Amino acid sequence: MSTCIVLHFPDDVLEKYAMGSLSNLDCGPLEEHLPLCEDCRTRLMKVEEYILVVRAALTELEIHSNARIGAQSVFAL
């Protein structure tokens, strides 16, 4: 019986894939694995969502800190 032994992919590989920073060479095995593996698909969805949440929160913090710096410089004048 011919079988293809594939392990589950770790979260850091899924994270790189989600952020588009995984090399083309490394994308192949993952994209061949994903259609067959519910577990990796579910984890990839969670990783993608986590990235969106972190980005939204970091953006919000940056906006607030920039606004604070702006206000401080106005008062300093």
Binding interface with another protein (CB under 8 A): 1-8, 11-12, 19, 21, 28, 31-43, 46, 49-62
Residue with Cβ nearer another protein (58 or 71): 58
Q: Angle at CA 10, nearest 5°, toward 13 and 56?
A: 60
d(CA 43, CA 63): 30
- Would you say 10 or 70 has its CB closer to another protein? 10
What six digits make up the tokens of 29? 């095995």
Nearest CB to another protein, comparing residues 38 and 72: 38
